[in-house]
């Protein structure tokens, strides 16, 4: 039995805490914010084994000119941010090749399958069934041409045995009769779960962690020192603690947090917004829907619609700019009968992105008994429970059930481009 500190109480940190405590370890979560209230709050609410296509893929290079010079709902950026992160962006683009995309897809399929099964167990244990629906993920294409552009994605899905159904216009209308616009094609993913409230799921998981005798410290780690085979932790409230092992699950804050220990993590972040609207009529749409051409994602609960924007590249602390989410809402109002905003301002959060679009899950390269579990990009909910199992297996020196080399933190220590 080890005394383990998990830094960060987002969905990744909470799942890690649960996995470790269920294996008999003493586990403490530390976070200055409420569990699940930051990045984990602002996701689309999908758990699936189908999010295999990384952002820096060959299609990104083909559409780069359009992304840079035309304003799109799916993508906005700050010119100054891009200039100051220029070398990171170049490295990011250099990973946009077929070989890396296929390697990443295989690794993500294994991780997401492991995670999906783990989430199903946790949903039962935490009595969260009322918060989930199936199937949970639907991609819609307005035109046949747009659908054909995603043929390479379908090839990847087929290679990795993802179960899905291609829907025609009639089948889409039958599944989602509330839509006022006809869509040419849809992809409905069989092995997917829609979470009505990601925050509520995080809270239920956290309550289970506490019920299993986990400890939560509402404080911020100020300093870490490895002394005599133990980690000494000093907090912002000037409290001191000692732990055998530390797991860092600090999401977009990981780069700055670990810089004090001598790590230069190749991490940036994507900012994203979401809004809630009421609808003029009661709507009951089961899956979360990705409007591919529109560049936004939405889901419904009763007569409430939650809409999530695309990507914004900007400084972490930059003031919110709601133009992107407002534009998405304007497009959605032509598809569904939106009524009033239920949130006075849009939620804004940042999602951590490693330069190769793969999370860091594993042992730190410069310190003993230090573990990384962050950088899950926009699919942290889908990968959280699986990455928790990997970390627990590594700490206990157990044989891995999947190939974890693509997620190994030391992959950047010797060779940048693979």
DSSP codes, 346-401: -EEEEEEEETTS--EEEE-SSSTTEEEEE-BTT-HHHHHHHHHHHHHHHHTTPPPS
Query: What is the model's pLDDT at position 148?
Result: 93
Nearest to 377 by CA among 154, 194, 112: 112
- Structurally, the chain folds into a number of domains equal to 1
Residue 279: which domain range? 3-414
Could you tell me the pTM of the whole model?
A: 0.94
> Which pLDDT belongs to residue 163?
97
So what's the pLDDT on residue 12? Answer: 98
Q: What is the CATH number of the domain that holds 49?
A: 3.50.50.60
Question: What pLDDT, on the 0 to 100 scale, is given for residue 65?
Answer: 65
CA-based nearest residue to 270, from 44, 13, 119 = 44
Torsion of CA 114, 116, 119, 123, to 10 degrees: -140
Which pLDDT does position 61 carry in this prediction? 77
User: Residue ranges of the chain with pLDDT lower than 50?
Assistant: 414-418
330 within 8 A of 351, measured Cβ to Cβ: no
pLDDT at 329: 94
């Amino acid at each position: 039995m080890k005394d383990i500190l998990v830094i960060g109480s987002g969905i990744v940190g909470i799942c890690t805490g649960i996995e470790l405590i269920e294996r008999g370890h003493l586990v403490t979560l530390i976070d200055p914010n409420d569990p699940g209230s930051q990045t984990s709050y602002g996701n689309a609410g999908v758990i699936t084994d189908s999010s295999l296509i990384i952002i820096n893929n060959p299609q990104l290079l083909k559409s780069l000119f359009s992304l840079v010079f035309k304003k799109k709902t799916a993508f906005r950026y700050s010119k100054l941010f891009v200039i100051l992160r220029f070398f990171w962006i170049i490295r990011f683009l250099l990973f946009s090749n077929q070989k890396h995309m296929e390697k990443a897809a295989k690794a993500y399929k294994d991780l997401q399958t492991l995670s999906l099964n783990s989430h199903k167990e946790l949903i039962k244990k935490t009595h969260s069934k009322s918060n989930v629906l199936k199937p949970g993920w639907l991609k819609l294409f307005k035109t046949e041409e747009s659908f054909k552009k995603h043929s390479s994605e379908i090839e990847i899905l087929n290679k990795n045995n993802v179960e899905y159904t291609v829907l025609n216009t009639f089948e889409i209308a039958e599944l989602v009769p509330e839509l006022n616009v006809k869509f040419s094609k849809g992809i409905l993913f069989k092995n997917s779960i829609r979470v009505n409230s990601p925050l509520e799921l995080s809270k239920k998981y956290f309550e289970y962690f506490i019920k299993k005798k986990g400890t939560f410290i509402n404080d911020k780690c100020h300093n870490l020192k490895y002394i005599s085979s133990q980690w000494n932790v000093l907090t912002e409230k000037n409290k001191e603690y000692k732990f055998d092992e530390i797991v860092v699950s600090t999401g977009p804050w990981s780069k700055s947090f670990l810089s004090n220990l001598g790590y230069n993590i190749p991490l940036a972040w994507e900012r994203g917004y979401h809004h809630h609207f009421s609808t003029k009529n009661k709507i009951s749409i089961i899956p979360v829907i990705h409007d591919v051409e529109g560049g936004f994602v939405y889901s419904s609960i009763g007569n409430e619609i939650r809409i999530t924007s695309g990507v914004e590249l900007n400084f972490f602390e930059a003031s919110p700019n709601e133009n992107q989410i407002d534009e998405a809402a304007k497009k959605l109002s032509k598809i569904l009968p939106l009524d009033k905003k239920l949130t006075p301002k849009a939620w804004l959060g940042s999602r951590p992105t490693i330069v190769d679009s793969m999370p860091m899950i594993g042992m730190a390269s410069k310190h003993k008994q230090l573990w990384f579990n962050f950088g899950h990009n926009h699919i942290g909910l889908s990968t959280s429970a699986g990455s928790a199992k990997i970390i627990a297996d590594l700490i206990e020196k157990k044989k891995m059930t999947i190939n974890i080399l693509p997620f190994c933190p030391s992959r950047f220590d010797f060779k940048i481009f693979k």
